Chain A
């Protein structure tokens, strides 16, 4: 595991893309093919099945360290990562060893049928064979979630360079159903027999438009659509079978039984990019409705009726078995319009928003909430369908979010990279002379502001409950959010979408914060828009 640990350390230690690519190429040059496959899998969030409960790992590490349990958990709150906490409290003695990455993965897989005491014995032996960083990697193999900032795009670049294969070919091969246990490294990269008929194309993602829209040049060079608020997906029909992929590279065909209809609508050899979106009649439903379906194992007939899901088509990537991503967008769009039936309940064309001037489009954008959309998508007519997140040809031009001013009342320590700081806050608005909590938010401040708030929290704590502190209700923040819904689970009766801190209102005192009434009128406004 020395090579993989080296790779992990190198990736973790550099913030620069070139450095990461170099580290990956170095690793590919040294590791066995089987280890390479596992490394690719692990870095693209595939990991071996979990065979040991993380709580057991914590318990055993704790026993070895001789610490009281509460102290272990206090440490965990500070560190923010269980695998790391376990690693750090373990006694430092170990015996030098060098088994391969594949050896350790097989070792972990072999734990599955064992009884707990046997698992324990094996894990303790393993810890004794590994140094501190190797232990961390090993613990992460079990608990998952490496998060070392290797994007799909970066992996693709490195592999393409190492194997001397074109980037778009590598990107396509890496998606879909492959597994380090069934495929070989050369099979994954070099064969073209197309045995995996389900394989999707990498998604092309847009950046948010931050500059003035006029910087995009001539309006007639662009096509505009509404930006829909569902789950980005890809529908593929090949060999008489339907495959539905979500952007998270998950095969979700079974979750949307209504899509079986696509087999009748689309000819073999078609791949369509679009949005998975609940629709009732001709109106989209709020994202919250879709969420009620996401987590379910079994979809009841009732749920299917209450939240029917359609696919809003954006683009066509494959037609008659041919990859047409290099066609101009306007040509692909014309093809798409020919494919999509008019107002079919399951397959809907994402309508183009017509405009001649940027001012007209700006007015259309203002109407976004009426369509339950998040803004406007802009695509250059002559753009090809690229992979990953890219600047230039596609932009999302979002509407300005809702905002309210709220008072911070609780603070909690952050996790991971913010382990030592109070970064997660709970906010309240006034209901008469009472402060009612209505949302949590943890992003949006600069590092410097976070440090300042952290210090303030430590000096203005009223009470402590574990990792949470209640603080004097004094600091006011502007909270921005994308949507507002009714919720019976929250004391305030409302739930926000994507709440974040837009800025710290040092100019306001707590008494100047918004009220629950203000939130309720936003809620009514937002519901009226549907």
Chain B
């Protein structure tokens, strides 16, 4: 029996009786991070990192059925050792390491190697078998250093301000929004947030993350307050009547998909900023090499193409069908969240 198996509920460790990021209700779920394609509703018991816990509890409305581990701490379940290791994807996100009888599997969850200034940086973990994501597993996806992207965002904001316009930037609510807040030059002007972003900010502030002041947009703020400001909102808010109060505004979208001119134009935004919380092509390859794994399973995105590529590089690799959706799913999830606010 393989240590981990791919089932129609999620990744399953039969020996320990636990699932990793299951998408159907199970008894025991170990969850890599709080995005809705990974942290599903309806499990009996949850295990996640200490840093991911507050958001997951908030989003899934959990009471005391959630347990945590610090990064690197080990939990033995029925002879199998489980531990979390930083994935660098969003604050609290983890790779899940599973060891039994000297055999080590690592499930990456979502990850990136680039430091974003807010998530605990990715740490490579040696293993025999690596289950990797491949959201951007095509050689056309290569990211610029984060600072260059924020230079672009800052310049765009300043320029809009000079023209008397508000700058509206869309990024998904958990992770991307906080990354923007943390790295943008807050001295340029005032920053406001959409309610969906603000409620996540609130949770994260309470657990000790420091973010610049960015109140929720409410009716108490009038045109002069908003003019020249930066508004951080989920992509689902684009085109909604909520946006009208910012007129005239320039619209930016921050996402890895903005790398392609086609997707950039399809979003109908004025500006696309190529800012992703997933590893780009070079980093996926680097990360896989560093694990030293002799076998790789590929999930998310371009799983078929990416596993074929790995095979051509003499790495035993297989495509796995999961319900993980990468950044597209993360964009959609903001839509659900908005409904709650």
Contacts and interface: CB of A to CB of B under 8 A. Distances in A.
A81 B260 CA distance: 10
A515 interface: no
Interface residues of B, number: 24
Interface of B: 138-142, 257, 259-266, 268-272, 302, 305, 308-309, 312
B139 A15 contact: no
Nearest to B141: A88
Contacts of B139: 65, 67, 71-72, 75, 88-89
Interface residues of A, number: 31
Q: Identify the 3 closest CB pairs spanning chains A and B, nearest first.
A: A88-B140, A419-B262, A417-B262
Given A13-B272, A74-B305, A420-B262, 17 more contacts: A13-B271, A15-B269, A67-B139, A71-B138, A71-B139, A71-B309, A75-B138, A78-B260, A79-B262, A81-B262, A84-B261, A85-B140, A92-B142, A416-B261, A417-B261, A420-B257, A420-B260
A290 B245 CA distance: 52
A366 interface: no
Contacts of A72: 139
A84 B270 contact: no
Contact of A88 (B257, B259, B263, B264): B259
Nearest to B312: A68
A398 to B, nearest CB: 27
A369 interface: no
Nearest to A72: B139
B260 A419 contact: yes
Contacts of A85: 140
B268 A15 contact: yes
Contact of B265 (A68, A74, A417): A417
A334 B16 CA distance: 91
Contact of A13 (B141, B259, B270): B270
Contact of A81 (B138, B261, B269): B261
A507 interface: no
Nearest to A87: B140
Contacts of B271: 13
Instruction: Say whether chain A's binding surface is mostly helix, strand, loop, or mixed.
Output: helix
A80 interface: yes
A89 B309 contact: no
Contacts of A415: 262
A78 B140 contact: yes
A71 B266 CA distance: 24
21 contacts: A12-B264, A12-B265, A13-B271, A15-B270, A16-B270, A19-B270, A65-B139, A67-B139, A71-B139, A72-B139, A75-B138, A75-B140, A78-B302, A79-B140, A79-B262, A85-B140, A88-B139, A89-B139, A92-B142, A416-B261, A418-B266
A74 B271 CA distance: 27
B332 to A, nearest CB: 9
A218 interface: no
A68 B260 CA distance: 21
B301 to A, nearest CB: 10
Interface in A476-501: none
A65 B142 CA distance: 13
A138 to B, nearest CB: 15
A70 B312 CA distance: 11
Interface in A78-99: 78-81, 84-85, 88-89, 92
Nearest to B301: A420
Nearest to A76: B140
B215 to A, nearest CB: 29
Nearest to A80: B262
A71 B305 contact: yes
Interface string A21-55: 00000000000000000000000000000000000
B262 A88 contact: no
A291 to B, nearest CB: 29
Contacts of A71: 138-139, 305, 308-309
Nearest to B268: A15
B266 A447 contact: yes
A376 B142 CA distance: 52
A470 B266 CA distance: 25
Contacts of A16: 270
Contact of B142 (A70, A88, A416, A419): A88
Contacts of B268: 15
A12 B140 contact: no
A16 B250 CA distance: 10
A417 B260 CA distance: 8
Contacts of A420: 257, 260, 262-263
Contacts of A80: 262
A14 B305 contact: no
Nearest to B266: A417
Contacts of B266: 417-418, 447
Interface string A171-185: 000000000000000
Give the most central of B263, B269, B309: most A CB within 10 Å: B263
B262 A418 contact: yes
Contacts of B140: 75, 78-79, 85, 88-89
Nearest to A71: B309
A72 B271 CA distance: 27
Interface in A218-271: none
B262 A416 contact: yes
B27 to A, nearest CB: 26
Give the most central of A70, A78, A80: most B CB within 10 Å: A78
Contacts of B302: 78
Nearest to A88: B140
B312 A79 contact: no
A65 B139 CA distance: 9
B324 to A, nearest CB: 13
Contacts of B142: 88, 92
B267 to A, nearest CB: 9
A17 to B, nearest CB: 13
Contacts of A75: 138-140
Given A67-B139, A78-B140, A417 B263 contact: yes
Contacts of A74: 138, 305
B24 to A, nearest CB: 15
A89 B312 CA distance: 18
A71 B261 CA distance: 19
Give the most central of B142, B257, B266, B268: most A CB within 10 Å: B266
Nearest to A85: B140
B277 to A, nearest CB: 18
Contacts of A416: 261-262, 265
